[in-house]
Amino acid sequence: MTGTCCAPTAERTAESSGTPAVPRGERSTRGQVRIPPGTFWMGDSHGDGYAADGERPVHEVRLSAHLIDAKAVTNAQFAAFVKATTYITDAERDGVSAVFHLAVDAAPADILQGAAGVPWWLAVRGADWRHPAGPRSDIADLQNHPVVHVSWRDAQAYCRWAGKRLPTEAEWEHAARGGLDRARYPWGDELGSGGRWRCNIWQGEFPRRNTLEDGYLTTAPVTAFQPNGHGLSNTVGNVWEWCQDAFRATEYAERAGEAPVVDPVAVEPTDVDDAQVSRVMRGGSYLCHDSYCNRYRVAARSSNTAESSSGNIGFRCANDET
């Protein structure tokens, strides 16, 4: 396990290449909202981002009409998928996933190591989507919380079964903006607080003391907090959300000059199923805090390898309009 700021990267030992064999389900738009065709300014209009993430230059993007889930995929939904397909996630196959240190619920022998540079992440044996805090935890009381410990490859498999697909990075950002032009957050430019948090991030001193002003140390139910202008809940905060795109920090710079860019998606040219390809994650998570990671903004970008999983990465689905 090596470290990126907000979510650790797995060094999997189990064989994990190739598309998992999951039957493709009939197209479904259940739980999805329609996003009409339109253009928007993609990227960081405020200069808030980390240069290495490539949130700039801001550029105009035109999107065709599409659909996107109003909320992240829940544990209950993922359980239905696993029941129907007997799918085994990357974390289950590997036997290990990353859990935030204050959340671990495991025997000491199952706590293997901290991640280099990010000691608040612990590799925990037996941590997986059914046991989000480790082997001693379960999801009985977390049915409507976002599924976590799912890799990009696991998310792809779910989408295939559900008759859906992952959103592109551009679709995700456009939907997360909720119709607010160039705003910082899904509700406007100010984070707000004063006892009224709009999203699930970290309050207090990261990574030891969380004052829980927003109510949650780790995940919140997928419909907690007010939805944005498009009816989407918890785009920023709660859990990172996988997108379809391969991650390239230079992506936006390469788009400059085309105006507007139409339905962009960064594809990995060699092997779309490569477990090592870095895939885009959006929205930040319950661990984000301005003091070390302000990626709970709609423009913020991050990435992880397609086989990585942790207790703060989930996903929502999208669909073409037929």
By the criterion CB under 5 A, which residues form the site for Ca ion? 200, 214, 216, 234, 238, 283, 286
Report residue 109: phi and psi, to 5°. Answer: -65, -20
Q: Which two tokens stand for residue 300?
A: 């913020």
Nearest CA to 294 out of 42, 119, 59, 55 is that of 55
Of Cu ion, Ca ion, none, which one sits near residue 295, judging by CB under 5 to 8 A according to partner kind?
Answer: Cu ion
| Closer residue to Ca ion, CB minimum distance, 22 or 104 | 104
* Separation of alpha carbons 281 and 34, rounded Å: 22
Work out whether 299 is an interface residue with Cu ion (CB under 5 A).
Answer: no
Nearer CB in complex with Cu ion: 106/280: 280
User: Which among Cu ion, Ca ion, none contacts residue 6 (Cβ within 5 to 8 A by kind)?
Assistant: Cu ion
Minimum CB distance to Cu ion, residue 248 (Å)? 20
Closest C-alpha among 154, 118, 172 to residue 9: 118
> Under the criterion CB under 5 A, does residue 166 sit at the interface with Cu ion?
no
Nearest residue (CB) to Ca ion, 139 versus 236:
236
Q: Which of 122, 170, 261, 293 binds Cu ion (CB under 5 A)?
A: 293
CA–chain centroid gap for 307, Å, is 13
Of the ranges 30-38, 56-64, 124-132, 279-287, which one interacts with Cu ion (CB under 5 A)? 279-287
Task: Decide: is 7 part of the binding site for Cu ion (CB under 5 A).
Answer: no
- Residue 158 or residue 315: which is nearer to Cu ion going by CB? 315
Q: Name the nearest CA neighbour of 140 among 130, 150, 126.
A: 130
Q: Is 288 in the site for Cu ion (CB under 5 A)?
A: yes
How far apart, in Å, are the Cα atoms of 107 and each of 124, 172, 182? 9, 38, 47
Shortest spacing between CB 312 and Cu ion, in angstroms: 8
Provide, rounded to whole angstroms, the least separation between the CB of residue 181 and Ca ion.
Answer: 21
Q: Which is nearer to Cu ion, 86 or 211 (CB)?
A: 211
Contact status, residue 286 vs residue 312, Cβ threshold 8 Å = yes
CB of 219 to Ca ion, least distance (A): 9
Binding partner at 20 among Ca ion, Cu ion, none, C-beta below 5 to 8 Å by kind: none
Q: Which is nearer to Cu ion, 148 or 293 (CB)?
A: 293
Query: What does 127 interact with, of Ca ion, Cu ion, none (CB < 5 to 8 A by kind)?
Result: none
d(Cα 214, Cα 202) in Å, to the nearest integer? 8
Minimum CB separation of residue 259 from Ca ion in Å reads 29
Q: Which is nearer to Cu ion, 87 or 206 (CB)?
A: 206
User: Hey, CA dihedral for 30, 32, 33, 36, is it positive or negative?
Assistant: negative
Q: Is 244 helix (H, G, I), strand (E, B) or coil?
A: strand
Cα gap 168→219, rounded to integer Å? 24
Residue 311 binds Cu ion (CB under 5 A) = no
- For the record, the structure tokens of 232 come out as 């989407």
Number of H helices, E strands in the chain: 5, 15
CA distance 282 to 286: 13
Backbone torsions φ then ψ of 189, nearest 5 degrees? -95, -15
Return the one option of Ca ion, Cu ion, none that residue 214 interacts with (CB less than 5 to 8 A, by type): Ca ion
CB of 201 to Ca ion, least distance (A): 6
Say whether 190 sits in a helix, a strand or coil: coil
For the chain, the farthest-separated pair of C-alpha atoms sits apart, in whole angstroms, at 56
Residue 292 CB, nearest distance to Cu ion (Å)?
8
Minimum Å gap between C-beta 37 and Ca ion is 24
- Return residues touching Cu ion (CB under 5 A): 6, 284, 288, 293, 295
